[in-house]
Amino acid sequence: MEALKAAIAAIHKQRPRTTVVLTGAGVSADSGIPTFRGDGGLWRNYRAEDLATPEAFARNPLLVWEWYEWRRSLVREAQPNAAHVAIAKLPNALVVTQNVDGLHHRAGSTDVIELHGSLFRARCVRENKRTDALDPFTDLPPHCACGALLRPDVVWFGELLPEGAFERAARAVRDADLLLIIGTSGVVFPAAGLVSFHKGLSIEINPQLSALSSSCAYAIAANAAEATPPIVQAVLDAGTDR
C-alpha cells in the first residue's frame, strides 16, 4: 500500500510533536456499529433524518427513544477496535469525534471532544441538566426527577454543536503538526470544515475517497482498524527518534 508507506515516511521525516485526530463513523465500523448512511441505515422503515430532530421528539418522544434504545443496545455490546486502541496510545493527542458511541473513551483516550454528544448521556428538556445514562431505561420515554422529559444528549439535525466545542477543536487543528482524519465522509458540517484550519501534515484513512481526500497530503484507502495502528506506531517511533 504505497500511500501508507509514503505517509509513514513523511511522519518520520517531519516528526510531529502535536497531533489531532478527527474521526467519523468509519472508525467504529470494525466494531460492528451501523452507520446512518448506506445499507442498514433504516430502522422500522425510518431514516435517521426522520427521527434525530427536535420536531420528531416533540411529535413522538416514545418512538425516538425506542430508536435510541436500540442504538444504545448495539453500542453497549460493541468493543473498541484496533483503531480506537491505537489512537488512545498517542500521547497528548486531542481526539475530535463526530461519533456518539463513546468508544474512544472506552479505549483509553482521555482528551476527547464529542462534537455531536453521547448516546450514554441524557438531558432534561426543562432544566438542561445532563446525567450519565449508561444502563437501559426501564420506562420509555424516560423522565427527569423534576418530572420533565429526558432527551438523548446528542446534537440533532438543525441543532448547534455544544458551546465552545468547535472553537476549541479549530484552535487545536490550526496549531497541530499532524492531523489524522479517520473514517469520515467529510460532508457533515461544521465538523468537515475543521480541516481547512490545518496547515501541517494531514493524513486521511478511509476505504473510499471522501470530500476531504483532495485536501490531505496523503489519502490511505483502507479500513481504520487496518491502517491506523501502523500510522500511530510511526508517530510514536518518530517521537523517540528526536
DSSP letter assigned to residue 200: S
Architecture of domain 1-33+80-116+165-242: 3-Layer(aba) Sandwich (3.40)
pTM: 0.92
- For the chain, domain boundaries: 1-33+80-116+165-242, 34-77+117-154
- Reported as a single tens digit per residue, the pLDDT across 60-74 is 999 999 999 999 999
Bridge-based pairing of strands 130-132 and 112-114 is unpaired
Band of pLDDT at residue 38, cut at 50, 70 and 90:
very low
Fold of 34-77+117-154: SIR2/SIRT2 'Small Domain' (3.30.1600)
Chain CA centroid to CA 91, Å? 19
136-145, 172-181, 189-198: segment of lowest average pLDDT: 189-198
Which positions are catalytic?
116
1-33+80-116+165-242 shares its CATH topology with 34-77+117-154: no
